[in-house]
Amino acid sequence: MDLTERSPIMKVIIVGGVAGGATAAARLRRLDENAEIIMIERSGYVSYANCGLPYYIGGTITDRSKLTLQTPQSFRNRFDIDARVRQEVVAIDRAARTVTVRRLDDGTEYVEGYDKLILSPGARPVTPDLPGIDAGRLFTLRTVEDTYAVADFIDREQPRRATVVGAGFIGLEMAENLRERGLEVTVVQRGEHVMPVFDADMASLLHNHLREHGVELLLKADVTGFEETSDAIFTTLADGRVLESDLVMLSIGVAPESTLAREAGLELGMRGSIKVDATMRTSDPDIYAVGDAVEVTNVVTGSPALIALAGPANKQGRIAADNICGRESEFGGSQGSSVLKLFELDAASTGLTLTAARAAGIDADAVILSPANHATYYPGAETMTLKVVFERGTGRILGGQAIGRGGVDKRIDVLAVAIRARMTAADLTELDLAYAPPYSSAKDPVNMAGFMIENILDGLVDQVTWDEALELVAEDGDAILLDTRTAGERSRGGIEGALNIPVDELREHLDELPRDKRLLVFCASGLRSYVACRILSQHGFSCANVAGGYGFHTQVKRGSAAPHACVGDCGLPV
Amino acid sequence: MDLTERSPIMKVIIVGGVAGGATAAARLRRLDENAEIIMIERSGYVSYANCGLPYYIGGTITDRSKLTLQTPQSFRNRFDIDARVRQEVVAIDRAARTVTVRRLDDGTEYVEGYDKLILSPGARPVTPDLPGIDAGRLFTLRTVEDTYAVADFIDREQPRRATVVGAGFIGLEMAENLRERGLEVTVVQRGEHVMPVFDADMASLLHNHLREHGVELLLKADVTGFEETSDAIFTTLADGRVLESDLVMLSIGVAPESTLAREAGLELGMRGSIKVDATMRTSDPDIYAVGDAVEVTNVVTGSPALIALAGPANKQGRIAADNICGRESEFGGSQGSSVLKLFELDAASTGLTLTAARAAGIDADAVILSPANHATYYPGAETMTLKVVFERGTGRILGGQAIGRGGVDKRIDVLAVAIRARMTAADLTELDLAYAPPYSSAKDPVNMAGFMIENILDGLVDQVTWDEALELVAEDGDAILLDTRTAGERSRGGIEGALNIPVDELREHLDELPRDKRLLVFCASGLRSYVACRILSQHGFSCANVAGGYGFHTQVKRGSAAPHACVGDCGLPV
C-alpha cells in the first residue's frame, strides 16, 4: 500500500478519545499513513485509565500521571493524530458530512467536515430525577475529572461516612476504595443482591465479604431522594429510613450516551443505544459507532445486549478502523466476561447467569463446586466457589461464575473461551490445561465442572438446590436430608432433622434408610454426597445430591464467610 | 441401574494405584456398586501426590502425610476397593484371563482372575547403561520411596553439592528444591537447552534465571559415566570434564513401563508404549491401558505421541472405567499443556513449539510479545514473555509458551482451550476475557498475540527473527538495523551499527533512510517497531519487524535476566 498510489486523502473524525475511540484512531493511522484523523474528546484527557479511577481514589494508585499516560501531544507524535480535548461534538449534519464542535472552555463552535465518522461517546452514569440529585456532596465516577473531584473532596473535607448507591462494578470498587481511605461505608442496592452478573446465591458470598470488611449493606432498598446541609448529605429510602453521610457516590448503572446519534437520526437499539452491524457501522454508511454506547449481540443468546466493558470497546474500535480502511472485519459479539477485586476476594463471571439463562427461555441448570485453586498438598491452596451454567439436553456451557482468592480469573477465562467455542460439558472434561501443584490440580476445577455436568446429563445423579431441598423436606415429608459428613464435621454445625451417616459407613447402614422417601444427600461440598448418591441409587433408593453442599449453604443462607472446603475428607479420586 | 437387575458380578483388576489407576478404580465403583475391584500397586502407597514429591525434598511440603493422604484403607472405606500395595503383577495370561501377582515382601506369587484388566503402570525414569549407574549416591525420582530416599540421604549426609543430569520438569524442579535445601547445584543437559517443551529462545530465559539463582548449567554436555567413592560421586562428561558432587539426581526422561504388556503380546506403539484406541482399549478387548505408558494422539498434529503428564492420565482412567461399564467415552488426545515453577518464574506451554511444528512439516511461524500480566498503572504489574505459534496461511493456533511472574498459566490455559477448539488468530482477537486492572489489560496478551498474527497474515508487516536479522545485516549489506527506541533507552544498550530514530520522530526523518536497503526495525518489545514498519512501508520502504525486540534479544543472546519491558514508551493504543 504505497501512499503514492492513494488518493484522495480520507478525513476521519472520531467522537470520544478513550478506549474504543483511541484504539480506532491508532489503528486508522497504522492502516492509512495519509488519512487526516481528528479525535474529539469532551473531557480534558485522552486514552486515560478509566478502569483505574477508583484505585486512585483509594490510594492504591498514587501517581496522578499514571492515570493519564497519554496526551494529545503523544498521539500527535506517535500517530500524527489531531486529538482535541475539552471539545464536544454537538451536532452531526449527515447530508453535508460535517459535525459541529463546541469548545467547552469558551463556548465557541466550529464546523468540521468528515469522510467517515466514528462515534465512541461511551455511557454516562445514570442520574435519576430525584430530589437533591444535584447536591455538591453527591458524586458520580466516569472521567479523570470526576476522580479528582472525589479525591480532592476527601482530602479537603476528611469525610468519615460515605453512602454508595448502587452495587455494580463501580459501586463495589468505590465501596472498597472508600473503605481503604478509612471511611465508614454503607452500600444501598435496590435489588436483592449486589452485582447482577452473579446469581443471588453466588452474590451472597460477596455480601458476606463486604460485611466482614465493615461495609454496611442495605439490600432491596430504594432511594427516594437526597438532602444536603452545610456538613452532611442525607439519603432517604422508600421505607422512610434516612442515611446521614458526608458524601454520596451514585453508581446505579450507566446509559448509552446516544443523544448525538439520536438527534442525527441514526437508528437506535435497546435502551437508547446506537444500532450497528457486525462491521460497527450505523444506519448511516459513513458513520461507525463503538464502545459502551452501542448495542451488541450477546454471543450466548444471540440476542441484542448492552455490555459496557473496556475489552469489547477496544476490539470494536479496531474493527471500525479496519472496515473504514477497506479491510473486512466483524465483531462477533460480547459475552460480558468480567472480574471484580473486592478486598481479598476475586469475583469473575462470563456468559449467562442461571437467572439470565432461564429468563432467556433456555432450559438451563448449574453445578456448584468448591475446588481448591491448586493442589491442596502444596502450601497456600485456597478454596474457590465455582458455578457453571449449562443447557440441559445439549450440555452446552452457557456461563460461569467464580469467587475466591487466586486462580478465579483463570478459570473464568478458560470458561469464556469454551463458551466462545460453543463447547459442551463433555468438551470441558477433555480440556488439557497446564498442571503443576502450585497452579492447579490434575483435574482442574473446569474439568471437574465438566464431569459433574456430564454425570447429571447422563442420569448418574439427580441434583436439587438447597432451596428446593429445604422446601421438599418442609412440605410433604416425602423427602429427608441425609448428611454424609463425618461426626467431627457435624459437631461444627449441621442441619436439624437430617439423618447422619458418613459416606464411608454408608454401605453398612443401608438398612436404616427409608425406601419410601427421597433422600436429599449432602456433604461439605457435594463430592462425597455424589459418591453416596451413586451407592444409594444403585441399591434402589430414590435420591438427589444437594448442589453446593453444606459449605455453600452456610455461606448463602447463614452469611458465613468461613471457608467451606472439606477438610481432608474428600481428597479421594473423583 | 438397580443392582438387583445386574448379573453376574464383574471383576476388574487394575495394575497401578496412582493417577490413572486410582481414578479408574473410583469411577468404576461409582458406576458399578457390585463389581469386584482389585487395585495392585508395586510401591507402598496408592494415589499419592507424585507431582509434589520434589517439594517434599525441598522442604516446601513438610508433612509426610500430605504426600500420602490416601491409603488402601481409605479406598476400602469409601469405594469398597481392594487396594494391594507392595504387590506386582508379573504376568498376564490373556487366554485364561488371569494375572500372576508377586508379593514383594516375601516373593510369593498367586494367580488372580479378571473379567477386565486396566494397565496403569506409568513410566519409569530412564537409566542408561553407563558405568556407575548403580551408585548409591545416584538417585532417580518416581515414587514416595524414592523421595524419602533422597530426603533421608540429605538429612543424614548433609551433602553440599548435587549434580542433576537432565533438565526436564523433574530435573529443574529438583535443581530448585536442592538449591532450596542449600546445596550447590550443577545441571547437566545433553541438548542445547533445558525443557524441550520450550523453543531454544524461550528456554534461554530459564537458563538466565537458573544462573541468577546460582545453578551451574552445562548444556550440550553428554554424561559418559559415574564413579563413586566413600564420600563423593564423580560424573564424567564426554569432553573429559569430571564433576565432583555428593549426590547425583538422574532425570533424563521417562520410558513407558510396558514390559508386562509386551510380554503379554499386546500391540505396542512408539518407543515401546502400549497402543490403545480412543476408548483406552488395548489390542485385547478385555484389557485397557491408561496413563504415562500409553501412546496418545497429539491433538495438534494428529500424530502418535508420548505425553507423560498427570492430567491426561486422570482423564484416561475415567474413560477406561466408563467404557468397561458400557458407557461410551473417548479420549480426544493430548496437547501437552504443562507448567513449571522455577524459583520466581512461572513457565508454561501448550501445543507445539515452533521447532516441533516445523519438524512435523507444518508451515509454521510465531510471534513474540512482552505484555504485562495486568494493567501497568495498577501496582505489581510484571512483564511476561509470550510466544504463540501459528500456521501460515490458515492462521490456526498451534502452540503457546509463556514465561514470567504471575498470569502466565492463565494465558497458556486460554491458548490451550483455543487450540483445542482449533481457533485461528482471528478468533484470538475476539476472545472476550475477564478484565479489571488487577488481572489483565483491556486487550489481554492473548488478544494481542492474535492481533500480531493477523497483521502478519494480512501482509501489514513482515517479521524476521533476531537470528535472521543479524545474518542479513552481516551477510550482504542489503539490510540495515533501525532502532526506534528513545535516546534514553539506547544509552542503556543497543546494537552496534544500527540506525537510531525514535518512532515518534520517524516521519520527519524519512529522507535520511536508505531506499535501496531492507530496514530491519526494532524497539524494546516489537510494538513501536511495528508502528514504525507501518509508517515505513506506506512510504515505500522495504522493512521488517524484528520479533521480540531488543529486550528479547538481550535475554536470548546476552543472558540478561533483566526485565525487558518498554518503560512508559509503548503504552499508546495498539
Distance CA B401, CA B202 (A): 8
Q: What pLDDT shows up at residue A477?
A: 81
Q: What pLDDT shows up at residue A8?
A: 81
Tell me which residue has cell 429468563: A359
Nearest CA in chain B to A3: B538
A520-534: pLDDT as tens digits: 999 999 999 999 999
Mark yes or no for CB contact A421/B417 under 8 Å. yes
A265-283: pLDDT as tens digits: 999 999 999 999 999 999 9
Mean pLDDT of A420-441: 97
Across the interface, which of B55, B80, B534 has its CB nearest the CB of A378? B55
Contacts of A287 (CB under 8 A, 6+ apart): A92, A94, A116, A117, A118, A119, A264, A266, A281
Distance CA A120, CA A22 (A): 9
Distance CA A479, CA A499 (A): 11
Report, as residue numbers or ranges, the catalytic residues of A: 51
A379-405: pLDDT as tens digits: 999 999 999 999 999 999 999 999 999
Distance CA A58, CA A67 (A): 13
Q: What pLDDT shows up at residue B571?
A: 52
Residues of A in contact with B327 (CB under 8 A): 458
Distance CA B137, CA B155 (A): 14
Q: What pLDDT shows up at residue B567?
A: 43
Q: What pLDDT shows up at residue A571?
A: 52
Question: B138-252 is classed in which CATH architecture?
Answer: 3-Layer(bba) Sandwich (3.50)
Nearest CA in chain A to B429: A315
Q: What pLDDT shows up at residue B353?
A: 98
Domain parsing of chain A, residue ranges: 3-122+255-324, 138-251, 344-457, 463-558
Residues of A in contact with B401 (CB under 8 A): none
- Which residues, numbered 437 to 466 in chain A, qualify as contacts with chain B under a Cβ-Cβ cut-off of 8 Å? 437-440, 442-444, 447, 451, 458, 460
Would you say residue A568 has pLDDT above 50?
A: no
User: CA-CA distances (angstroms) from residue A95 to A113, A265, A285, A442, B365?
Assistant: 11, 11, 12, 62, 48
Domain A138-251 matches domain A344-457 at the CATH topology level: yes
Q: What pLDDT shows up at residue A560?
A: 61
Across the interface, which of B375, B417, B535 has its CB nearest the CB of A431? B417
Burial A263-282 (b: 16+ CB within 10 A, else e): ebebebbeebbbbbeeebbb
Taking alpha carbons only, the member of B83, B97, B71, B66 closest to residue B29 is B83
Q: What pLDDT shows up at residue B226?
A: 98
Q: Which of B413, B429, B535 is the mutation pick for testing A, counting most A CBs within 10 A?
A: B413
Mark yes or no for CB contact A432/B531 under 8 Å. no
Across the interface, which of A52, A309, A432 has its CB nearest the CB of B375? A52
> Under CATH, what is the fold of the domain A344-457?
FAD/NAD(P)-binding domain (3.50.50)
B64-105: pLDDT as tens digits: 888 888 899 999 999 999 999 999 999 999 999 999 999 999
B227 to chain A nearest CA, in Å? 34
Class level of CATH domain B3-122+255-324: alpha beta
Q: What pLDDT shows up at residue A192?
A: 96
With respect to CATH, is domain A463-558 assigned 3.40.50.1820? no
Residues of A in contact with B444 (CB under 8 A): 311, 413
Q: pLDDT: is A373 or B4 the higher one?
A: A373
Q: What pLDDT shows up at residue A17?
A: 96
Mark yes or no for CB contact A52/B504 under 8 Å. no
Mark yes or no for CB contact B331/A430 under 8 Å. yes
pLDDT along chain B (574 residues), means of 10: 62 96 97 97 94 95 89 96 98 98 98 98 96 97 96 97 98 97 97 97 97 97 97 97 98 96 98 97 98 97 94 96 97 96 98 98 97 95 97 98 97 98 98 97 96 97 96 90 96 93 97 96 96 97 97 82 47 55
Would you say residue A138 has pLDDT above 50?
A: yes
Beta strands A479-483 and A499-500 are parallel
- Which residues, numbered 175 to 234 in chain B, qualify as contacts with chain A under a Cβ-Cβ cut-off of 8 Å? none
Q: What pLDDT shows up at residue A86?
A: 98
Sign of the torsion formed by the C-alpha atoms of A427, A432, A434 and A438: positive
Across the interface, which of B377, B433, B505 has its CB nearest the CB of A67? B377
Range from A193-197, A255-259, A561-565, B197-201 carrying the lowest mean pLDDT: A561-565
Q: What pLDDT shows up at residue A1?
A: 45
Mean pLDDT of A480-507: 95
Say yes or no: A531 contacts chain B, CB-CB below 8 A. yes
Mark yes or no for CB contact B61/A341 under 8 Å. no
Mean pLDDT of A136-153: 97
> Under CATH, what is the fold of the domain A138-251?
FAD/NAD(P)-binding domain (3.50.50)
Would you say residue A341 has pLDDT above 60?
A: yes
User: CA-CA distances (angstroms) from residue B365 to A480, B524, B528?
Assistant: 61, 21, 21
Say yes or no: B275 contacts chain A, CB-CB below 8 A. no
- Containing A484, the helix (H) or strand (E) segment is none
Residues of B in contact with A331 (CB under 8 A): 430
**Cell numbers representing residue B287 in the block:** 484389557
B332-386: pLDDT as tens digits: 999 999 999 999 999 999 999 999 999 999 999 999 999 999 999 999 999 999 9
